[in-house]
Amino acid sequence: MDAAKNKYSIIVPTYNERLNIALIVYLIFKHLRDVDFEIIVVDDGSPDGTQEVVKQLQTLYGEDRIVSYIPPKFNPYAVGTAYIHGLKHVSGNFIVIMDADLSHHPKYLPSFIKKQLETGASIVTGTRYVKGGGVHGWNLMRKLTSRGANVLAQTLLWPGVSDLTGSFRLYKKSVLEDVISSCVSKGYVFQMEMIVRASRKGYHIEEVPITFVDRVFGSSKLGGSEIVEYLKGLVYLLMTT
């Protein structure tokens, strides 16, 4: 399939990303010059002025390229809910999910698209844990925690991918709609459940190495409670998949 025949809808959940959203949008446009795409910004009522910046971006790039949606109040930790809302407003046949905090660099998007076109994959996911991938800006403890969480999940769930908790992915729209409808997790466990259920359903999954960069501006929304939820989610998936 030719990339020119496809349209890519990029869903970007935001909460207090005023300092990041303009740069991430600029970089997406820079790296996808010859691709038909739209950016769906799903904002959880950010009090820092994120929505005002998005309005300015719509004036600059056009409301057909930057779609802003403010859903009924949802938990900014519940990333799965943001994607469900975003799906209602996409017009593309492929969906990209990525973070707004610059931890997912848009320079990898052409590699995602190329990999999908070459393999016909249903899902292309970015991975930190193969040759060419990595993490920048994390201390040793956070690296060990992340790596340990993935190794534990690999051992128990056998998902067939190296990075279960990554949230930088390209989906065929129909596949995302199918998989997301069977997921119950809403927090950071959501990403793991999505890829595990996709694997169990037999969808073709490919990986692209990426370097994850810790957020430059703003504060991380990951806390101790999310680690507990991750462990609960792991047990849930072990029992239900």
End-to-end CA distance of the chain: give it in Å, rounded: 32
- Taking the C-alpha atoms of residue 76 and residue 81, their distance in angstroms, rounded to an integer, is 9
What pLDDT is recorded for position 233? Answer: 73
Q: Are 110 and 31 in contact (CB under 8 A)?
A: yes
- Taking the C-alpha atoms of residue 205 and residue 119, their distance in angstroms, rounded to an integer, is 9
Question: Tell me, what amino acid is at 16?
Answer: N
The predicted-structure confidence for 46-74, as pLDDT tens digits, reads as follows: 999 999 999 999 999 999 999 998 877 65
Is residue 162 classed as helix, strand or coil in its secondary structure?
A: coil
Which residue carries 């046949």 as its tokens? Answer: 93
Return the top range by mean pLDDT from 150-154, 186-190, 204-208. Answer: 204-208
- Taking the C-alpha atoms of residue 82 and residue 59, their distance in angstroms, rounded to an integer, is 24
Strand segments (E) across the chain:
7-14, 36-43, 66-69, 94-97, 123-127, 134-136, 169-172, 205-209, 211-213
Structural tokens at position 15: 């909460």
How large is the average pLDDT for residues 99-125? 96
The predicted-structure confidence for 155-180, as pLDDT tens digits, reads as follows: 777 778 888 888 999 999 999 999 99
- Taking the C-alpha atoms of residue 114 and residue 124, their distance in angstroms, rounded to an integer, is 10
Q: Name the DSSP letter for residue 218.
A: S
The dihedral through the CA atoms of 38, 42, 48, 51 has a sign that is: positive
Structural tokens at position 196: 């595990």
Domains of the chain: 8-239 (3.90.550.10)
Q: What is the DSSP string of 6-63?
A: -EEEEEEEESS-TTTHHHHHHHHHHH-TTSEEEEEEEE---TTSHHHHHHHHHHHH-T
Q: Give residue 200's Cα distance to chain centre.
A: 20
What pLDDT is recorded for position 77? Answer: 53
How large is the average pLDDT for residues 144-148? 70
